[in-house]
Amino acid sequence: MSVSNLSVSQQRAVIDLFRRIAPIADELGELFAAHGHELAVVGGSVRDVFLGRIGNDLDLTTDARPERVLEIVKGWADSIWTIGIDFGTVGLRKNNWVLEITTYRSESYDPKSRKPEVIYGETLEADLERRDFAINAMAVRLPKHEFVDPYGGLTDLAAKVLRTPGTPEQSFDDDPLRMLRAARFASQLGFTVEPSVVAAMTAMADRIEIVSAERIRDELDKLICGEHPREGLALLSDTGLAAHVLPELPKLRLEIDEHHRHKDVYEHTLIVLEQAIALEAAGPDRVLRWAALLHDIGKPKTRRFEDAGRVSFHHHEVVGAQMTKKRLTELRFPKDVVADVSRLVELHLRFHGYGTGEWTDSAVRRYVRDAGHLVERLHKLTRADCTTRNKRKAEALSRTYDDLEQRIARLADEEELAKMRPELDGNEIQEVLGVGPGPIIGSAYKFLLEMRLDQGIVGKEAARQALTLWSKSQNLPPAP
């Protein structure tokens, strides 16, 4: 199909693409042609053109084998990397462009293997057939700018539908991760998934077990950071995939939350996630979003039926934090992400002890100290966790949290609250106690920190006097 066969708006999109990437694409296409090989812009790079999203990354495909690609681009590219060469991909940089060139291929999984077997192909059309969805199975040949769309990807883009080029069963059997990609694209693009694809995902959900934790993590992370995570998460739950990759999520569907204001904790969780997203200041905050998604996963394990028909979930935040740490660790998330998300889950109920402002300044200081660098995220998570339909109650909670934030700001201005350190440092503590480094210095530091939390800034002299009295209670020898 030539560009002239497209609609006027589609022609403009393709023309705009090549206006931006020329002379890079044409130059590279002519280089490959001179060496007797084909080259085409492919996949997401073409899809995003029609969605009005053009970045500085390009995906390309060729009939040349990886070793041949290296020979062709040597001397042309500014830099080259081969981290993906085992899977047929050569990466390179030219000016401000990052290009990935992948040999025509088809890949499939052995039923007992976690790693795909890469088989090189011979034609562009065959390569497009093995791609995950029709919207990613479009290409533009270089250097002639011939548009190739054998599986109706452009039609699916207009309809906002996800459909596989071939049968979904064959596609998911070749690479089970594509089932998670369907949910990820539903989140990122807001597209619906064609019913036969949903049916195949449901029937083949257990096939996802052979995929590595790292690949699953990457798809889940992209899903939750998409514009429509509810759609992606619902698809995972409805098809049974969540039971294999994030089992805590569907389990929430069976639990009624303690306020009896929502159908179940599952629905409450999705609302909290959406409300947390609405509070983001600058783009997706993965830590906040994961904390919102997992904040109540401890409820199923802690549910108790009380008198008068009440339901309680005592200490679900503690249990939930432990479960969060276990799940994110198993998914191979970085340690700092695991720690931060788990800590937010643990702290998400702390505000409810504030009542109508009964906390002392000491309690406010402890709240900030315990949250540490997560305090702003904790503010957002706590606000997002209010999903009551009672407008008066919601407004009261909002005002109360406004009051807490104002108190935190006031104390921060007065006391440099964010630093939250004792008024004496380690050297000064040693001087007062008349001892060298050792365990007693750590104990003294904790004592002074607790004093700072309880009393605020009292001055160095008062801190020294208090430390001297404390040392006597510890039966320490007096300072010389």
Residue-wise pLDDT tens digits, 290-305: 999 999 999 988 888 7
Are the C-beta atoms of residues 249 and 293 closer than 8 Å to each other?
yes
> What percent of the chain lies above the pLDDT cut of 70?
89
Q: What is the predicted pLDDT for the residue at 261?
A: 42
Which ranges in the chain are annotated with CATH 3.30.460.10? 3-157
Q: How far is 246 from 237, CA to CA, in rounded Å?
A: 9
pTM beyond cutoff 0.95: no
Q: What is the predicted pLDDT for the residue at 381?
A: 95
Length of the chain: 480
Q: What is the predicted pLDDT for the residue at 262?
A: 40
pLDDT band (50, 70, 90) for residue 23: confident
Average pLDDT over residues 76-101: 93
Average pLDDT over residues 186-206: 96
pLDDT band (50, 70, 90) for residue 441: confident
> Mind listing the pLDDT tens digit for each residue in 211-230?
999 999 999 999 999 999 99
Are the C-beta atoms of residues 97 and 121 closer than 8 Å to each other?
no
> Mind listing the pLDDT tens digit for each residue in 351-385?
887 777 778 888 888 888 889 899 999 999 999 99
Question: Domain 3-157: what homologous superfamily?
Answer: Beta Polymerase, domain 2 (3.30.460.10)
Of the candidates 463, 368, 352, the residue with the CA atom closest to the CA atom of residue 410: 368
Structure tokens at 323: 């479960």
Q: What is the predicted pLDDT for the residue at 414?
A: 63
Q: What is the mean pLDDT of the chain?
A: 86
